Structure 1
Amino acid sequence: MGRAGRPRGSRVIFEVFRRERKGQPFQHAGSIDAPDEHFADVYAREQYGRRQESVALWLVPRNALHEIDDFPDEFDLKYRRVDGYSIKTRLREARDRAGTLESAAGEA
């Protein structure tokens, strides 16, 4: 057994996130295949930091990342989302109702 309780010779895939300039968000840069965190650090610095491409790097073991499922729309707050509140549809419905009311008033 090697360090970190893994069998010798096993490798870990690390995801690398980098920041190009101060004040910018971190962006995914790629993956590093390394035997441990120390080598991943060295490989990432060599690959993504040697030409002053980055001002900061983050390394995360791939197995530490997980996907978050789509968020359920528990309260049906579509009016808060841009795509859920269609002005054109609501205007068309209002015009249809207004036309119906005018025709009903004309008949009376």
Structure 2
Amino acid sequence: MVLTVFTWHYGGREVSVYGWGDGTVMNSMNGSTMALSSAIDLPPGYHQYKFLVDGTWQVDEEQLRVIGEHGVINNLIFVEEPSANAQRLPPEAVRGTLDLDSIRDAA
């Protein structure tokens, strides 16, 4: 599984990302009223997803889009298998706050 971060840059009161069963609620990034994110563990490969923003289905027009099997437009992401040499970031990096000194100290 690969921890994959999804971001919605267009605001909303209630925003979730869907594509893997039940939606995952997105949280404000560093107190922003427009940018929200969520991190989801996904297997490598292609994944279609969509955002539910205040009760309305949305796609991110800035990201790759595809017409799904039912004729609906979804976003598309390719999740890569992590490299054996890749350095993993600590969990706090995904939550939006990261002390770079702690990464240097841990290396």
Q: Could you state the TM-score of these two structures normalised by the residue count of structure 1? A: 0.20
Larger strand proportion of the pair: 2
Structure number with the bigger relative contact order (C-alpha 8 A, sep ≥ 6) is 2
Which has the greater radius of gyration?
1
